[in-house]
Chain A
């Protein structure tokens, strides 16, 4: 979480061999220690998609279909129509990074 928030570079390292130290000591053997250093990397924040229905806002991962996103936030697809920038979109539409999808409730009026 610290690396994610600070954006710091992560250097992956591993060591092994030490677990045999006690056993080797009893039989007066040397113990080899191993250290491996991997490639440095940074954690990237995955771009989210904002979904708005009336006064509620939800966030889902980008790259999923509208249908999957609606299932994830527990909204019945039958009960809403989704719009992207005023255009109607259908359930198989892939949601893009950083965009906002506005849902219009089907039931309205008196």
Chain B
């Protein structure tokens, strides 16, 4: 399979911080893959995803999209953000408009699409995310799960080939979580790549094709799900799962 997004030896330190968030992180995302990023809090998962959408620019190293290094010019950023979508952990950080329809239409209009085309994209993304009946509702009247799906629709309306999801499934009830993973599956069936940063080991084991483990700003393992869970040494890197013995 072809590599669509590649992080090559990335280094990054947040302004005002002494500890680097990324120090030599490298990862390749292949087309049509389901990837789960695991790691402890502060391991660098979110920072890596922010580099994938060109929100952050590495102090050293390179991000390549379809083999070409990212350009941090206005046109270059527009190209990246058309192809790489990013969904945030808290939908309230992403939903800026009080109108669901207007929020979802924001991304497509930024791509320079006409109102008619944007309206078509909004309808399509809303349908995919099961929020068509919420388009006339105010954002602040939605439940947490509905907000997550609207936030997802706002990104999918831009038609990205790669979807980066930063812990957006945490805090959802099992039914809503199933719906959101259903949306991810439909995207992958269409040929998109979905990379999800999470602490959900169940999702990692049962949903992911590839599991990526990060620690202290580096990718320390990237392998098929079965291999990670089949190897006690690699499995130990994920931390305690259902082994409650030590806690009881």
> Do they bind each other?
no
